[in-house]
């Protein structure tokens, strides 16, 4: 029960740098996007846009539309990008704990038939 409440209170967002210039940010639960010159500016702008959007939605006279407007999910490709980024971050965190490597078959074993 507590987990489902927490999930509803968390807005998942991601950002990426476009062609070495500006940053683009996406909020998945509300399908909002911003553009900024730096990561800090991106986070600040995203926070501002989210707050403004929620305030506008809650201020509407059409109260029946509020649940729909507060769960305006982004398209599937944005979710796939988000989870790919999460996967890359996890892999980077475990990089020092799991390895892959190659071994060369010892020559003396290969000829001892």
CATH number, position 55:
3.30.160
Q: Tokens in use for 41?
A: 């500016």
Note the pLDDT tens digit of each residue in 57-111: 989 899 899 888 888 899 999 999 999 988 888 887 776 666 555 555 555 544 5
pLDDT of residue 10: 81
Domains: count for the chain: 1
Give the chain's mean pLDDT: 81
Answer yes or no: are the C-beta atoms of 23 and 16 closer than 8 Å: yes
DSSP 74: P
**Whether the model pTM is above 0.85:** no
User: Whole domain around residue 93: which residue ranges?
Assistant: 2-110
Distance, CA of 40 to CA of 37 (rounded, Å): 9
């Amino acid at each position: 029960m507590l987990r489902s409440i927490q999930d509803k209170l968390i807005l998942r967002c991601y950002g990426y740098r476009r062609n070495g210039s500006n940053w683009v940010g996406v909020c998945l639960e509300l399908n909002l996007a911003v553009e900024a010159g730096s990561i800090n500016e991106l986070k600040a702008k995203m926070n501002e846009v989210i707050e403004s959007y929620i305030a506008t939605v809650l201020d509407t006279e059409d109260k029946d539309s509020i649940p729909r407007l507060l769960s305006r999910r982004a398209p599937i490709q944005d979710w796939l990008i988000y989870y790919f980024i999460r996967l890359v971050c996890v892999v980077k965190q475990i990089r020092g704990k799991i390895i892959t490597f190659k071994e060369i078959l010892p020559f003396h074993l290969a000829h001892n038939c």
